[in-house]
Amino acid sequence: MNRKTAPPIKDAIEFDLKLKPYQKFTLDNGVPVYSIDAGAQEVVQIELVFYAGNWFEEQKSVAAATNYLLKNGTSSKTAFEINEEFEYYGAYCNRSCYNETAVVSLSSLSKQLPAILPVVRDMITDPVFSEEELDIYKQNSKQRIKVNLQKCDFVATRLIDAYLYGEAHPYGKYTNPEDLDALNRNQLADFFKQYYLNGQCIIFVSGKLPADIEQQLNIAFGDLSLKAFNNQLSTIIQSPAAEKKYRIENDANGVQGAIRIARHFPNRHHPDFMKIMVLNTVFGGFFGSRLMSNIREDKGYTYGIHSYVQNHIHETAWMISTEAGKDVCEATIEEVYKEMKLLREDLVDDEELLLVRNYLIGTILGDLDGPFQIMGRWKNLILNDLTGDYFYRSIETIKSISAEELRDLSKKYLNPEDFYEIVVI
């Protein structure tokens, strides 16, 4: 090896990326389990995904409260005792509630699963939703909302979704203190019974898996009255706002404003979706994007500005998000539209497009570093009713999309009249 000669630089787009395939098995009750056995460390992550997001609730915040309180006491253990048991075995259990789904996740040493899985089973079969724990949840949530409502970025994020989808739509509704006051344990118990105890479930497990992982999961969850995921959601009609431009004063003494600019956009099944991921990266999807170069680096209006497509299963939205000094908010919006105009009229040059290709492939390469990340990729595909072919078609799109295609997509999707605007100061 001649150390006086630098090794050749290889572009990320030259790599041949492979998505490690999963193994699938089914519990006795029909619940599917997707597994990735990989990694050097004796750790495992298990995610139980339920169709129990706010899509299914009849009253605001019921889904989130039910999900949170799963860990806050059962008939046999208090919330303190449950947490003590996880801590004793060096495990971590989390709950998360989203628009369509709700998740109970467990991270543990592989050897401790026999001791920990019964605790998780207890959580998802026998929560008591005590009045005391519910009152604490209400108090903490209301305090959190009160603090957050003083922040312009929090208010802007809530309102732009409401304008896009309508306040009654699961993607657009948001929780107010009075919604929390209206919660009672009977509502939570009924929601739990329908969407957890007798609900639809899918399980993802990854890491250094024990040889008997199938048996362990079957003992823990295979006899429950759960059903397999069917990837079917009832249709809920969107009711977007009639007006598209909003200026809201949230704090008279505020020094900056939160800007959200967004338009409706199809989901991952649309033929343009993969190509838009490339266009979005050019526009505002990474630190070297057009928006960052102009509005942060050149104009100095903001510390950061980003664009992204929301991660929804149904119809979604293309969003531009930033915070800027309130005296330059309107100028910031004007520059966003100028960048849209440039993409509609001019071709992206070869150097910029190569940079974006390498960035996207490099990001995917990083996302495949370890069993948890690999399973995260598969989980996103499976929950969106996609196959591994989607991953490889995405790679091919990144490598082959032309500047002309990007300009045509810009003409189709980056038109200011299609976007909702909100500035909250």
SS (H, E, C) 240-256: CCCCCEEEECCCCCCCE
Find the angle CA(196)-CA(198)-CA(201) to the nearest 5 degrees.
60
CB-based contact 204:150 (threshold 8 Å): no
Task: Answer yes or no: same fold for 23-228 and 245-424.
Answer: yes
Quote the pLDDT of residue 25. 96
pLDDT, tens digit only, all 425 positions of the chain:
788 888 887 777 778 889 999 999 999 999 999 999 998 899 999 999 999 999 999 999 999 999 999 999 999 999 999 999 999 999 999 999 999 999 999 999 999 999 999 999 999 999 999 999 999 999 999 999 999 999 999 999 999 999 999 998 999 999 999 999 999 999 999 999 999 999 999 999 999 999 999 999 999 999 999 998 887 777 777 788 889 999 999 988 888 999 999 999 999 999 999 999 999 999 999 999 999 999 999 999 999 999 999 989 888 999 999 999 999 999 999 999 999 999 999 999 999 999 999 999 999 988 888 999 999 999 999 999 999 999 999 999 999 999 999 999 999 999 999 999 999 99
Quote the pLDDT of residue 74. 95
How far apart are the C-alpha atoms of 17 and 373, rounded to whole Å? 14
Token digits of residue 168:
């009654």
Residue carrying the six token digits 């959190």:
144
How far apart are the C-alpha atoms of 94 and 35, rounded to whole Å? 19
> For residue 307, which of 346, 340, 268 has the smallest C-alpha distance?
340
Q: For residue 3, give Cα distances in angstroms to 6, 7, 10, 138.
A: 7, 9, 18, 64
CATH number belonging to the domain at 245-424, selected among 3.40.720.10, 3.30.830.10, 1.10.1200.10, 2.40.10.480: 3.30.830.10
> For residue 72, which of 61, 85, 82, 87 has the smallest C-alpha distance?
82
What ranges do the domains of the chain cover? 23-228, 245-424
3-state secondary structure of 232: coil
CATH 1.10.10.10 fits 23-228, yes or no: no
Quote the pLDDT of residue 174. 92
Token digits of residue 295:
């509005």
3-state secondary structure of 333: helix
Token digits of residue 293:
């170069």
- CB within 8 Å of 235: residues ≥ 6 apart: none
Token digits of residue 286:
């990474």
> For residue 220, which of 341, 46, 87 has the smallest C-alpha distance?
46
Helices first, then strands: H and E counts in the chain: 15, 12
Q: β-strands 245-248, 420-424: how paired?
A: parallel
